[in-house]
């Protein structure tokens, strides 16, 4: 039951099928908010109170506009497997490469700017922006293009370094405390949960608008 004084926030989430996506869904639902997961396969997530799914295409500005309409904020997990591309034929575990991520952000910005939804968190491998000698020049260039696109937009954005995810952690792991986790999952669960809490708290505090940050456990 929702507290009558609870301000319900509608989170639109791209990247729900990742471990961080699971942590975010669990944390926002725990805070009695609503989560709208944008997916190609609308049956990929089991029904839960406060959680619903919508179809979409992260690479099409018009589809983004339709998907985010009515939300309060958008979180886009660029490193997540199975980002929606408007087709159920796409490999569900596929992760977008650097150039595709740039295309996705361009469409996301254009789609959001056509709506009233202005708060955006972009989560990805952005530690490369702090490196003077990046191991992957293409990745560094793509990350810089994403940052430049955000800086020239009208959105209220925060760029977040992605934590290292791990297979095998779903929303059920983050929704309840369990003493029977498989070996090796306790530490990443705590780390990912910490980032999810950081993003949810940042939404309330607004300390890092239009900044590049890293949430540390």
Q: Compute the distance between CA of residue 54 and CA of residue 56 in angstroms, rounded to an integer.
A: 6
Percentage above 70 pLDDT, the chain: 93
User: Mean pLDDT for the chain?
Assistant: 92
* 122 vs 4, more confident: 122
- Reported as a pLDDT band with limits 50, 70 and 90, residue 2 is low
Whole-model pTM over 0.85: yes
| DSSP letter string, the chain | ---TT----EEEEE-TTSHHHHHHHHHHHHTT-EEEEEESSTTSS--BTTEEEEE-BTT-HHHHHHHHTT-SEEEEETT-TT--BS-TTS-TT----HHHHHHHHHHHHHHHHTSS--EEEEEE--GGGG-SS-S-HHHHHHHHHHHHHHHTSSSEEEEEEPPP--TT--HHHHHS--S-PPTT-HHHHHHHHHHHHHHHHHHHH---TTEEE----
Q: Compute the distance between CA of residue 4 and CA of residue 106 in angstroms, rounded to an integer.
A: 38
**For range 142-158, the mean pLDDT:** 98
- For the segment 48-97, what is each residue's pLDDT rounded down to a tens digit? 999 999 999 999 999 999 999 999 999 999 999 999 998 766 666 789 99
State the pLDDT at residue 89.
63
**Could you tell me the two tokens for 100?**
């595709």
- For the segment 29-58, what is each residue's pLDDT rounded down to a tens digit? 999 999 999 999 999 999 999 999 999 999
State the pLDDT at residue 165.
82
- Domains, the chain, ordered by start: 10-213 (3.40.50.720)
Q: Is the pLDDT of residue 180 over 70?
A: no
- Which stretch of 1-15, 66-80, 107-121, 201-215 has the lowest confidence by average pLDDT? 1-15
Q: Is the pLDDT of residue 140 over 90?
A: yes
Q: Compute the distance between CA of residue 197 and CA of residue 97 in angstroms, rounded to an integer.
A: 27
Q: Is the pLDDT of residue 181 over 80?
A: no
């Amino acid at each position: 039951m929702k507290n009558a004084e609870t301000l319900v926030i509608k989170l639109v989430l791209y990247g729900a099928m990742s471990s961080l996506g699971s942590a975010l869904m669990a944390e926002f639902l725990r805070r009695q908010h609503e989560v709208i997961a944008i997916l190609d396969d609308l049956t990929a997530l089991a029904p839960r109170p406060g959680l619903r799914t919508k179809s979409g295409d992260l690479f099409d500005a018009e589809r983004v506009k339709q998907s985010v309409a009515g939300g309060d904020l958008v979180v886009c997990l660029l490193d997540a497997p199975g980002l929606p591309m408007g087709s159920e034929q796409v490999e569900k575990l596929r992760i977008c490469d650097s150039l595709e991520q740039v295309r996705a952000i361009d469409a996301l910005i254009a789609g959001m700017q056509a709506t009233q939804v202005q708060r955006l968190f972009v989560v990805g491998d952005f530690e490369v922006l702090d490196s003077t000698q990046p191991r992957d020049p293409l990745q560094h260039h793509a990350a810089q293009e994403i940052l430049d696109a955000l800086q020239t937009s009208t959105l209220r954005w925060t760029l977040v370094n992605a934590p290292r995810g791990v297979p095998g952690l779903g929303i059920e792991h983050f929704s309840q405390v369990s003493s029977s986790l498989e070996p090796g999952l306790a530490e990443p669960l705590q780390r990912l949960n910490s980032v999810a809490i950081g993003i949810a708290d940042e939404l309330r505090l607004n300390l890092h608008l239009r900044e590049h940050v890293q949430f540390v456990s």
